[in-house]
Amino acid sequence: EAGNLLADGITWGYNTLGFVGGGLFGLAYAPICLTGMHHSFIAIETQLIAAKATTGGSFIFTTASMNNVAQGAAVLAVLFLTKNEKMKSICSASGVSALLGITEPAVFGVNLKFVKPFVMSMIGGGVGGFLASIFHLRATGMSITGIPGTLLYLNEQLPLYILVNVVAFGVAFGLTWMFGFNKKMEQ
């Protein structure tokens, strides 16, 4: 029931508030994932994709992709900032994994551990969601997010999908680099 209410609320917000709703959804996507409630979106995504003649596809997948890329970006910023060899190893593997659509190692192994990278990745995901909604990006199917998700945009949307992913990555990486990590966090 809670999952249905959340999904209905996000769909309403996205459709009613436009790019503001897209930005808010992008900002909230990572915390939603922590609760596991993002699994309740599958039914809505399926409906959006089944009715793509009228909906254009799934906005949820696009937002999820921005979130995953932003999570990976924050972890890769930590990789370049940390001096701890064990943390470098964790960051390199989990950062690449997040860019390929699997964020659990990045989120639980690095971003939540230090908190600030998680917040910076939320902001990156929010900016990505904002832009994706402005450009009306919609996935044409269901798959894994991030770089492999590019296959769902092999149409006129592809350049915009790449651009929005690059922006989400850049915002999360840049904010983590500037504000999301300091040497005291390693101790």
Cα(132)–Cα(126) distance, rounded to whole angstroms?
10
Least confident of 93-102, 107-116, 141-150: 141-150
Which two structure tokens, joined as six digits, stand for 142? 């269901």
The pLDDT, as a whole number, for residue 119 is 97
Q: Which residue has the tokens 């996000």?
A: 10
Cα(37)–Cα(159) distance, rounded to whole angstroms?
30
What is the mean pLDDT of the segment spanning 8-26? Answer: 83
Confidence category of residue 39, pLDDT binned at 50, 70, 90: confident
SS3 call for 157? coil
Residue 64: CB atoms within 10 A of its CB come to 29
The pLDDT, as a whole number, for residue 108 is 95
Closest CA to 66 of 170, 181, 174, 157: 170
What is the mean pLDDT of the segment spanning 124-138? Answer: 95
What is the mean pLDDT of the segment spanning 19-26? Answer: 88
Q: Which residue has the tokens 């917040």?
A: 119
What DSSP string runs through 131-149? HHHHTT--BSS----SSGG
For residue 31, CA distances in Å to 45, 118, 141, 168 come to 19, 9, 24, 17
The per-residue pLDDT for range 167-182, each reduced to its tens digit, is 999 999 999 999 998 8
Which two structure tokens, joined as six digits, stand for 48? 């959006």
Burial class (CB in 10 A: 0-12, 13-18, 19+), 136: middle
Closest CA to 153 of 66, 33, 89: 66
Cα(64)–Cα(56) distance, rounded to whole angstroms?
17
Average pLDDT, the chain: 90
What is the mean pLDDT of the segment spanning 38-58? Answer: 84
Q: Which residues contact 51 (CB under 8 A, 6 or more apart)?
A: none
Asked whether the beta carbons of 93 and 110 are under 8 A apart, the reply is no
